[in-house]
Amino acid sequence: MSGADYLIKRTVFAIVTVFVALTLNFILFRALPGNAVTGLRCGHCTKQFRESIVKQYGLDKPKLQQYFVYLDRLAHGDLGTSTFDNRPVWDDIRGPLVNTLPMIVAGTVISIVLGVMTGVIAAWRRGTLADTSNTWSALAFYAMPTQWIGILVVFYIAIPLGLPASGIESNTLGILSTPSTWEVFSDRVSHLFLPALVLGIGLYGEYALIVRSSMLETLGEDYVLTARAKGMRNWSIVWKHALRNAMLPLVTLIALSLGSIVAGAIVVEDVFSYPGIGLATIDALNRRDYPVLQGIFLILTLSVIIANFIADLVYFKLDPRVTE
Amino acid sequence: MTEAIGLVDTPVATESTRRGFIREVLFGQRASVVGLVVLLFFVVIAIIGPWIEPYSTTTQVGPVYAPPSSQHWLGLDDGGIDMLSEVIAGARVSMVVGFAGAAVAMIIGGGVGLLSGYFGNKTDIFLMRITDYFLVIPDVPLMIVAAAVFGRSTLNVVLIIGIIYWTSTARLIRAQVKSVRERVYVKRARALGGGHGRLVWKHITPQVAPLLVANTVLTIAIAVFAETYIAFLGLEDPSTISWGKLIQNSLSGGAIFHKAWWAIIPPGLCVTIVILAATMMGQAMEDALNPRLRVGHLSVRRFRLRPLRGRLESE
């Protein structure tokens, strides 16, 4: 298989996956017996009220027609209207998405840095106390539910140290005077720090274990022995020779764990009352606001698919052998 | 793509007798013995729970967030209910969801893997495409949506977990079936006129069953983890008590501001211990069964984690 074949194959796969996601989204929300209307658990809803809702959402039309209407609307960027505040769904979730993005990026960076550092140290000092303690703590953090780590961090770190543990900005900001851009920025960062840290801690264990076993493998290769025989310094053996090759499985793992990153972000935002997409999801759940829930599901799924596609391209760039 | 699997002639490590299998795979390694003992401990707690819970989990027995004392070893929660009784009751739902969810995933994943590996060709391509899509679609948003649409009950939680986490099992079993199918005794049975059903059930399934069990033990860890998510998002049956629900209660009940560490630590610790135990046990069993899966001949302890496997084996 040539490189072009590989790229075409991955592109087609990504596009088909998008359609699978769209269809799944449609089936879950419209086609199953438990649709949005039977899900309405209000005791006093009259029959007329239910019927009017059925009409409003076009649930009385044939399923196939509903499906095409749904695709057509999506193609025009119409995600529907919230049943809670009657605003377009996109307007409701754009703000939270913008808030979530930096947190997810910061959390992922923290997890990769932590994971690579502890993994490399554990592999380099194989069999020593440094290895055992790093490996076991990585395994332990891998096993802990992220929301629990979050609660522990609030309880044992944020409150004793007086760090901000709730919301996205201080209530006092801008009350007495108009804050400067720098003040707003540092306030945001201080509120972002702990949620991102928890997200990172919840994810790094998996990365550390993979980096460790992958490093052990490359450290046993002949070219590492050659590098050592040439008298290279330890750090440049690790950095220039071993780690580069050891990073390959990590790229795949990060791509595949994007779903877990999103999952972690949802619960972390709940613990820290951080007004991002996770909190929006929970609000939509509690309000039984199905259009918003559907929109969020769609956006999250699409971002994971696109990110996976990008990871495929990165992997191809890093290791052209993938096409063989 | 299928030929790159490299599993064509890997013998399963223990083919001798059933007793030999149990001795080598289960009791041969410290990690799997420790994991098994811990898991059994929690299973026993879950079963005998109703008889050993010191207090009722529905009635208030003291002041809100009373600290641990000689009567209440783990103190009381936000409703003045005995925490120890709740943690024991929580074991029941968490373990049932963990084991049953993993069992559903085992049935779907094992079935897809068997069919795909045995029949090959178009069946294989079709089933593996579906598996690929399930692998990419993020699980937790899907879980949230499904739980929200289907309604809140323990049975739904079990089904949802099973329907989401079967993919890596399917891939692993498929690879193994492909290798077993080519062995001489299977070919001979086919030449003697054995039907598909007989070949799959009598000759292939027994060979892949140990690996399937090992993989299912790993899925238990994931199912218990997923349960805490579902409970945390309030998508569980409101009347049940589970570890995930207790973690959520500690946040929503304000345990943090009452400095009630006894309401925060125990449920999360139980989840962590069960996940560690199941991961260690499943991993040790898989390593014993399938030497090819071992990462690096140099590793002291071989930790591989689930998500990586499916992708690497397919490319």
Q: What is the pLDDT of residues A256-271, one digit of tens each?
A: 777 788 888 888 998 8
**Residue A97 CB coordination number (10 Å):** 16
Residue A163 CA from chain centroid, whole number: 25
User: pLDDT tens across A138-163, in order?
Assistant: 989 988 999 999 999 988 888 888 77
pLDDT at B14 over 50: no
User: pLDDT tens across A310-320, in order?
Assistant: 888 887 887 77
Beta-bridge mates of residue B76: B82
Residue A141 near residue A197, CB atoms below 8 Å:
no
User: pLDDT tens across A270-304, in order?
Assistant: 888 888 888 888 888 877 777 888 888 888 888 88
Structure tokens at B247: 């973690």
pLDDT at A229 over 70: yes
Question: Please, what is the average pLDDT of chain A?
Answer: 81
pLDDT at A244 over 50: yes
Higher pLDDT, A28 or A199: A199
Q: CB within 8 A of B127, min separation 6: which ones?
A: B112, B115, B116, B170
What interface predicted TM-score (ipTM) does this complex get?
A: 0.81
Report residue B112's pLDDT band, with 50, 70 and 90 as the boundaries: very high
User: pLDDT tens across A60-94, in order?
Assistant: 677 777 788 878 888 877 777 777 777 888 888 88
The minimum CA-CA distance between A263 and chain B, rounded to whole Å, is: 6
Report residue A197's pLDDT band, with 50, 70 and 90 as the boundaries: very high
B216 touches A: beta carbon within 8 Å? no
Distance (Å) of CA B291 to CA A181, B13, B309:
58, 7, 14
pLDDT at A113 over 80: yes
- Side chain identity at A77, as an amino acid letter? G
Cα–Cα distance, A81 to A71 (Å, whole number): 15
Cα–Cα distance, A96 to A278 (Å, whole number): 8
B251:A300 CB<8 A: no
Residue B173 near residue B115, CB atoms below 8 Å:
no
pLDDT at B304 over 70: no
pLDDT at A35 over 60: no
Quick one: pLDDT at residue B40? 92
Chain A residues near residue B160 by CB distance under 8 angstroms: none
Question: Please, what is the average pLDDT of chain B?
Answer: 78
Residue with tokens 């409101």: B238
In our burial notation (b when 16+ CB lie closer than 10 A, e otherwise), range B24-45 reads bbbebbebbeebbebbeebeeb
Beta-bridge mates of residue A88: A81
A230 by Cβ neighbours in 10 Å (0-12 / 13-18 / 19+) ranks as exposed
pTM (two decimals): 0.83
How many cross-chain Cβ pairs, A to B, lie less than 8 Å apart?
190
Q: Which of A181-190, B113-122, B136-145 has maximum average pLDDT?
A: B113-122
Of the listed ranges A17-26, A103-112, B264-273, B303-312, the one predicted with least confidence:
B303-312
- Side chain identity at B119, as an amino acid letter? F
pLDDT at B13 over 60: no
Residue A253 near residue A111, CB atoms below 8 Å:
no
Chain A residues near residue B141 by CB distance under 8 angstroms: 262-263, 266, 281, 296-297, 300-301
Of the listed ranges A75-89, A170-184, A198-212, B246-260, the one predicted with least confidence:
A170-184
User: Once rounded to an integer, what is the mean pLDDT over residues A195-223?
Assistant: 86
A294 touches B: beta carbon within 8 Å? yes
Beta-bridge mates of residue A81: A88
Of A210, A271, A304, the CB nearest to B136: A304
Residue B13 near residue B24, CB atoms below 8 Å:
yes
> Which of B48, B21, B171, B58 is CA-nearest to residue B108?
B171
CA atoms within 13 A on the CB side of A16: 11
Of B137, B251, B303, the CB nearest to A151: B251
Chain B residues near residue A145 by CB distance under 8 angstroms: 225, 228-229, 232, 244, 247, 268, 271-272
Higher pLDDT, B212 or A54: B212
Structure tokens at A28: 């879950």
DSSP code for B66:
P
The minimum CA-CA distance between A250 and chain B, rounded to whole Å, is: 9
A147:B251 CB<8 A: yes
A130 touches B: beta carbon within 8 Å? no
CA Rg, chain B, in Å?
22
Residue B68 near residue B54, CB atoms below 8 Å:
no
Structure tokens at B143: 């879980």
User: pLDDT tens across B68-94, in order?
Assistant: 878 777 878 777 788 888 889 889 989
Task: Express as a percent the part of chain A with pLDDT over 70.
Answer: 89
The phi and psi torsions of A88 (rounded to 5 degrees) equal -60, 140
Chain A residues near residue B307 by CB distance under 8 angstroms: 206, 253, 256-257, 260
Quick one: pLDDT at residue B148? 72
* Window B:278-307, CB contacts with A under 8 Å: 279, 295-305, 307
User: pLDDT tens across B263-284, in order?
Assistant: 889 999 999 999 999 988 888 8
